[in-house]
Chain A
Amino acid sequence: MNEELYRLTGHEIRDAIRTGDSTAEGVIRSYLERIGQVEGRVRAYVDVWGNYALEQAQGIDARLKNGDDIGPLAGVPVALKDVLCTKEGYTTCCSKIIEKYRSPFDATVVERMLASGAIFLGKVNMDEFAMGSSTENSAVQITRNPWNLECVPGGSSGGSAAAVASDECALSLGSDTGGSIRQPAALCGCVGMKPTYGRVSRYGLVAFASSLDQIGPLTKDVEDMALILNVICGKDPMDSTSADVPVPDFTEALDAEVSKLTVGLPKEYFTEALNAEMREKVEAAAAVLEAQGARVIEVSLPHTEYAVAAYYIICMAEASANLARFDGVRYGYRFPHARDVQEMYRSSKSEGFGPEVQRRIMLGTYVLSSGYYDAYYLKAQKVRSLIRQDFQAAFEQCDVILTPTSPAPAFKIGEKTAEPLEMYLSDIYTNSANLAGIPGLSIPCGLTAGGLPAGLQVLGKPFDEATVLRVAYTYEQHRDLDLGHPQLS
């Protein structure tokens, strides 16, 4: 039997199980062994569900033997960001305030993945309540970038990205409020996608900023991305903001044909703020698509420089409202010595939330408070309109927009923790897609001289994930690039 099953993609694992080259149990054992070998250095997982995963795998193997339908992701090992509610294990958001929380229900995406035959290996690390760009805000542990253990994996879905990059799972789910899937995918050399706002049900995703949050996958290739989107997209009665828009078969987009497409490069993204190596790699990626017949043009997104400020005002305002529920009454940490209910609220929150979460609650409360609402929150929502209009205008000239995902490769652990604003600015290329609600995908476009992955971002029109996937797939098939694997053993 293949000893390196853990190197396979999700669709390769699916095929190996269906053809009998391997069993689901064999696959899971290979991954658990891999986790045993490298997890001590990477620390992507906050909880590994070894026995649970083996039982699930035996169930898949038995069903396959019976000739039952086993689902499109049968036997594929998946890691879940710990912001997704699962009946199995705990759901902690990597926060002290709900470190012992057990969800009485599964998130809709979790149900859909289970129904497709996917096998969960466990929960992975994240910035507390998905607030951060490096996973250093986790109350549990620091996750390391598999390509360089002194660097961050990005965030907030840093555990999801590191687990895929280190072959500790075949694919993972994360959440993206301002880049939290795409940026770690870029920094760890995986494919990561935030679908259109409303494309995937948010039922069972612990809310951070409800008008921006979206669940999405991190994978080893674009084909896996299409397969999972087929499983998780679509209207859900449990989330009234999920969009009632038909879901195409995304695998039909896996056709390396872009000769009728126009690709836009936004001039505002290619400034001095962009690392020279990253710029060169994104331009080379555009040239790959051009060689395949795509027309490449310059477009303009004039309000780009205001995206970070508008984004942080809005996400903090929404966070301050969403996190008010953690008050120590129905679940979560309660300060044990409170003399009255007010002290219970205040002390439970102050002891339970970490510094970045408290900072965002404070800022969000401030921008919503009487006298400041118009100046900050309303202003930000107006600028958001302009940013959305920028994209609408650009998409009249092109089908997709190409940008770098991150202005620079992975930074060192500890490098940006002292300056919150510096950390916020690492999201400059990803925030806009959440403000505009559009889909965005990050795909590796090379390694820097320092051996760190660089990410190419493909942005598309609302609900046009198919074209984004087509462009990413074409690039993947024609790029002259082999990232290889991080040297972990």
Chain B
Amino acid sequence: MGKITKEDVEYVAGLAQLSLDDAAKGRLVQELGAILGYMEKLNEVDTSDVEPVMHVLEMTNVYRDDEVRESLDRETALMNAPKSDGEYFLVPRILDTE
């Protein structure tokens, strides 16, 4: 855990699918460095014999009967679509055609 570099910011932005301009990258180098630096405070705590929290309150698997229930009709499911043909969500080409 060390300083955050511009390369770190670019790598994480790629994972997060964000495109950042140079000003945003510069700002995030500073901000992420400061915030992650503060979080290193946790290293003061000895957690060698501590189990991590998985569920904050006791919780077991929740099952329900596998029954068909009413779901959204197509028109409703598509009503917020940025682009659709009335049957499907349309997106730009995914596979390379060249």
In the complex the two chains form, is B18's CB within 8 Å of A349's CB?
A: yes
Instruction: List the A residue with the shortest CB-CB distance to B47.
Output: A382
Distance in Å: Cβ of A449 to nearest Cβ of chain B: 32
Does A287 touch B at the CB level, under 8 Å?
A: no
Instruction: List the B residue with the shortest CB-CB distance to A347.
Output: B19
Which chain B residues in 72-96 approach chain A with CB under 8 Å?
Answer: 72, 76-77, 79-83, 89, 91-94
Which chain B residues in 15-53 approach chain A with CB under 8 Å?
Answer: 15-20, 24, 28, 31-32, 34-36, 38-39, 41-45, 47, 50-53
| Residues on the B chain within 8 Å of A211, using CB | 53, 55-56
| Residues on the B chain within 8 Å of A101, using CB | 80
Does A393 touch B at the CB level, under 8 Å?
A: no
| Residues on the A chain within 8 Å of B52, using CB | 378, 381-382, 384-385
| Residues on the B chain within 8 Å of A104, using CB | 72, 76-77, 79
Segment at the interface with B among A40-48, A168-176, A323-331: A323-331
| Residues on the B chain within 8 Å of A276, using CB | none
| Residues on the A chain within 8 Å of B28, using CB | 359, 362
In the complex the two chains form, is B42's CB within 8 Å of A363's CB?
A: no
Which chain A residues in 408-466 approach chain B with CB under 8 Å?
Answer: 420-421, 424, 435-437, 462
Distance in Å: Cβ of A132 to nearest Cβ of chain B: 14
Distance in Å: Cβ of A484 to nearest Cβ of chain B: 39
In the complex the two chains form, is B18's CB within 8 Å of A363's CB?
A: no
Which chain B residues in 43-71 approach chain A with CB under 8 Å?
Answer: 43-45, 47, 50-57, 59, 62, 64
CA distance A198 to B57 in the complex (A): 9
Distance in Å: Cβ of A460 to nearest Cβ of chain B: 13
In the complex the two chains form, is A340's CB within 8 Å of B93's CB?
A: yes
| Residues on the B chain within 8 Å of A338, using CB | 92
In the complex the two chains form, is B16's CB within 8 Å of A437's CB?
A: no
CA distance A332 to B79 in the complex (A): 11
Contact with B along A352-395 (1 / 0, CB 8 A): 01000011011101110100100110111111111010000000
Distance in Å: Cβ of A433 to nearest Cβ of chain B: 11
Partner of B12, one of A328, A365, A424: A365
In the complex the two chains form, is A306's CB within 8 Å of B45's CB?
A: yes
Say yes or no: A331-B16 contact (C-beta < 8 A), given A341-B91, A385-B52.
no
Distance in Å: Cβ of B53 to nearest Cβ of chain A: 4
Distance in Å: Cβ of B1 to nearest Cβ of chain A: 6
Instruction: List the A residue with the shortest CB-CB distance to B93.
Output: A340
Segment at the interface with B among A236-244, A251-259, A468-476: A236-244
In the complex the two chains form, is B31's CB within 8 Å of A359's CB?
A: yes
Instruction: List the B residue with the shortest CB-CB distance to A462.
Output: B57
In the complex the two chains form, is A363's CB within 8 Å of B32's CB?
A: yes
CA distance A16 to B75 in the complex (A): 43
| Residues on the A chain within 8 Å of B83, using CB | 334
Chain A residues with a Cβ closer than 8 Å to the other chain, count: 71
In the complex the two chains form, is A363's CB within 8 Å of B64's CB?
A: no
In the complex the two chains form, is A385's CB within 8 Å of B12's CB?
A: no
Segment at the interface with B among A224-232, A293-301, A309-317: A309-317
Say yes or no: A388-B20 contact (C-beta < 8 A), given A341-B92, A341-B94.
no
| Residues on the B chain within 8 Å of A384, using CB | 52-53, 56
Does A345 touch B at the CB level, under 8 Å?
A: yes
Distance in Å: Cβ of A333 to nearest Cβ of chain B: 7
Say yes or no: A369-B91 contact (C-beta < 8 A), given A350-B19, A361-B18, A379-B47.
no
In the complex the two chains form, is A363's CB within 8 Å of B36's CB?
A: yes
Does A247 touch B at the CB level, under 8 Å?
A: no
In the complex the two chains form, is A380's CB within 8 Å of B42's CB?
A: yes
Instruction: List the A residue with the shortest CB-CB distance to B84.
Output: A330
| Residues on the B chain within 8 Å of A344, using CB | 91-92
| Residues on the A chain within 8 Å of B17, using CB | 324, 327, 342, 345-346, 349
| Residues on the B chain within 8 Å of A329, using CB | 82, 89, 91
In the complex the two chains form, is A362's CB within 8 Å of B32's CB?
A: yes
In the complex the two chains form, is A376's CB within 8 Å of B39's CB?
A: yes
In the complex the two chains form, is A334's CB within 8 Å of B82's CB?
A: yes
CA distance A291 to B59 in the complex (A): 40
Distance in Å: Cβ of A303 to nearest Cβ of chain B: 7
CA distance A338 to B93 in the complex (A): 10
In the complex the two chains form, is B82's CB within 8 Å of A196's CB?
A: no
Distance in Å: Cβ of B78 to nearest Cβ of chain A: 8
- Chain A residues with a Cβ under 8 A of chain B: 100-102, 104, 196-198, 211, 237, 240-241, 243, 303, 305-306, 309-310, 312-313, 320, 324, 327-334, 338-347, 349-350, 353, 358-359, 361-363, 365-367, 369, 372, 375-376, 378-386, 388, 420-421, 424, 435-437, 462
Q: Which 10 interchain pairs have the tightest Cβ spacing?
A: A381-B52, A331-B80, A334-B82, A437-B56, A382-B47, A240-B62, A365-B16, A346-B19, A382-B50, A384-B53
What are 28 A-B interface contacts by the 8 Å CB criterion?
Answer: A100-B80, A104-B77, A196-B57, A197-B57, A211-B56, A305-B41, A306-B44, A306-B45, A309-B38, A309-B41, A320-B16, A328-B82, A329-B91, A341-B91, A341-B94, A346-B17, A347-B19, A358-B20, A358-B24, A362-B28, A363-B35, A366-B36, A380-B42, A381-B53, A382-B53, A383-B45, A384-B56, A385-B52
